[in-house]
Amino acid sequence: MRTREAGEVFGPRMTLFADVLSVGLATSVACLPLVTAPAALSTACAVLRGAGQDRPVTAGRYAVLLRKRLRAGDLLAGAVALAGLLLLAADLGLAGAGLPGAPLFAVAAAVIGAGAAVVGLRACGRPESVTDWRAAVRGAARDAVADVGGSGLVLLAVATAALCAWMLLPLAFLVPGPLALALTAVDIRRSAAVLPQ
C-alpha cells in the first residue's frame, strides 16, 4: 500500500472508493439498454481487477473497455439474462394469483432464481467473461457449488445493493460499482484458495 503523496488530499483507499463509485455510475448508464447489463457489469469487474495490477480505475478506461465488449455474444448474454428475469417475474406473478400449490412453487422459483443469479453474477466477476461467456458460466457454476461461502457473499452483496437502493433511490445509480467490487473480490478470493492446492 503506497503512502499519501505530496498534495494528495485522501489516501489510496479513499481514491479506490471514489473510483468504485465512478465506475458504478458509468455501469448504471451502460446498463440502461438492459441487454448490455452483463457486459457492463463484467467490464466493471475487469476494470476493478486492474486496480491490483496498478492499472487506472477510471470511468474513461471503463468506457474504452466497454466499447470493445459490445459484441453479439455479450448482447446474447444480456438477452438471456433479461429473459430469465422476465420468466421469474411471470412465475412469481402466477404463484401470487392463488393457483393450487402456489406457495411451494414460489419457494422453488425463488431458490432457482437465486441460484441462477449467483451463477450469472459470479460469471460476470470472472476474467473469462471478457472474451468467453460460456467458459465464464461453466466456471461460475463450478465455483457456486464448490465455494458455498463465496456464493453466500454474492447473495449478501446483492441484498446490500438492493437495500441501499431501496433506502435512498439516488444510490441505485452507484450500487453497481460496489457490487462489481464484491464480485471481483469473491472471484479473487476463490482463485487464491485454489492456487495453493
In three-state secondary structure terms, 151 is helix
The answer to the question of residue 170 being in a domain is yes
Residue-level length of the chain: 197
- CA-based torsion, 80, 82, 43, 31: positive or negative: positive
List the domain range (segments joined by +) for residue 111.
12-188
The answer to the question of residue 193 being in a domain is no
Q: What is the pLDDT of residue 13?
A: 64
The answer to the question of residue 194 being in a domain is no
The answer to the question of residue 181 being in a domain is yes
Residue 109's Cα: distance from chain center in Å? 21
Q: What is the pLDDT of residue 158?
A: 95
The answer to the question of residue 26 being in a domain is yes
In three-state secondary structure terms, 185 is helix
Summarised one tens digit per residue, pLDDT across range 141-194 is: 999 999 999 999 999 999 999 999 999 888 899 999 999 999 999 999 888 876
How many domains does one find in the chain?
1
**Position 137, amino acid:** V
Contact 165, 171 (CB under 8 A): yes
Question: What is the average pLDDT value for the chain, to the nearest integer?
Answer: 87
Q: What is the pLDDT of residue 162?
A: 93
The answer to the question of residue 1 being in a domain is no
Which of the four pLDDT bands, split at 50, 70 and 90, describes residue 61? confident
Summarised one tens digit per residue, pLDDT across range 12-29 is: 667 778 888 889 999 999
Contact 106, 95 (CB under 8 A): yes
The answer to the question of residue 195 being in a domain is no
The answer to the question of residue 132 being in a domain is yes
